[in-house]
Amino acid sequence: MAKAALAWAAFLLPAGVAVADPVAPTVMVLALDVYVDSVVAAHNGALSCAKPDSRARDEQEWTSARGAFVATLWANGFPADFVAGADKRLAAAPVQTSCEDPDAFSFAGAENDGWQKTLGYPLQAMQLQIVAEAVPPETWTSIKSLVVQVLPQQARLFECMAVVYPAAMPSMVHDWDDMIVRLGGRLVGAGLPRDEITAMLSPAEANALWHRASPEKVGDLTNSCKADQAWQDNFASFGFLGLGSRISDMLPKPPTPSADDSDQ
C-alpha cells in the first residue's frame, strides 16, 4: 500500500504532467493571470462590439475553448487555487463593454483563428501537455457517482477474501491499488481538478476501504461471506478490476495525430 500511495502522490507533484518543461507552473502564474484577464475582456468586447457574423461571437467554441484551457492547466500541475479562480473568471456571465476603446479588449485573434486556437497559443508556447477536449461536467459527475457506487462492493470483497481466501489478499490489494493509481493518472491527464480527484480516490485505496476483522468477529464474518453470492461472483468475474476501464471509456478520446500536427 505504501508503494501505491507514493505512486499516487507523484501525480500531484507541482511539476505535473509536463515533466519535459523545465519551467515550473508556479513561475507562470502571474503571467497567465494577466492573460486570463485579457481573454475575459476580449470575450466581453466581442459580444458587445464585434459584427454579428464574427467568429469571435461563437459561444459554443468559446465554451469548448475555455474548458480545454482550464483542463490543460489542471493537467500540467498549476496551483489549484489559481486554476479554480481562472475557471470562475472565464465562466462568468459576459459584461457589457464600451466599444470606444477597442485596444482595451482586442478580439482580433478570435475573429481570425477562433477561440480554440487563440487560447491554445500560449499553452503551446509554454510547451505544456495540451488537453484538447475537457471532460463535460455531467461526465465528471457520473464518474464520481460510479466510484461511490463501487466502493461498498469492493470493501465487501476485501473483507470476505480476507477470511475465506486469505492467500489471495496480497495480490488483490496490489492489483486494486495499482488500478486506482493508474486511474488517478488518467484523470489528472484528462484535466480534471486534482483536489477533486484526490478526494474521490483517497477513500478508494485498499487500506482505506478494508480493515482486518477482530478475532471475535471472524467466525460470524466467515459464515456471512460463505452465504453471500454477490462478492463471490464479483471475484470470479474479476469485475472489481473493471472500474478503471469503465471510467476510461467515459473520458474524451485523445485526438488522432495528423500530418498537420507536425508544425504545431
| Segment 4-29 mean pLDDT | 58
> Cα separation of 201 and 43, whole Å?
36
256 pLDDT tier (thresholds 50, 70, 90): low
Alpha helix ranges (H) inside 11-136: 25-49, 59-75, 80-91, 108-125
- Alpha-carbon Rg for the chain, nearest whole angstrom, is 23
| Segment 20-38 mean pLDDT | 87
Closest CA to 31 of 126, 128, 129, 105: 126
User: Cell numbers 463501487 label which residue?
Assistant: 150
> Cα separation of 20 and 199, whole Å?
28
Query: Is residue 227's pLDDT more than 60?
Result: yes
CB-based contact 240:176 (threshold 8 Å)? yes
Query: Is residue 3's pLDDT more than 50?
Result: no
> Cα separation of 38 and 173, whole Å?
49
Whole-number pLDDT of residue 73:
97
Give the predicted TM-score (pTM) of the model.
Answer: 0.83
What 3-state class would DSSP assign to 98? coil
Alpha helix ranges (H) inside 94-168: 108-125, 137-164
CB-based contact 179:243 (threshold 8 Å)? yes
**Tens digit of each residue's pLDDT (9 = 90 or more) over 162-213:** 999 999 999 999 999 999 999 999 999 999 999 999 999 999 999 999 999 9
**Tens digit of each residue's pLDDT (9 = 90 or more) over 143-165:** 999 999 999 999 999 999 999 99
**Tens digit of each residue's pLDDT (9 = 90 or more) over 96-142:** 999 988 777 899 899 999 999 999 999 999 999 999 999 999 999 99
Whole-number pLDDT of residue 233:
86
> Cα separation of 187 and 185, whole Å?
5
Burial of 3 (0-12, 13-18, 19+ CB in 10 A): exposed
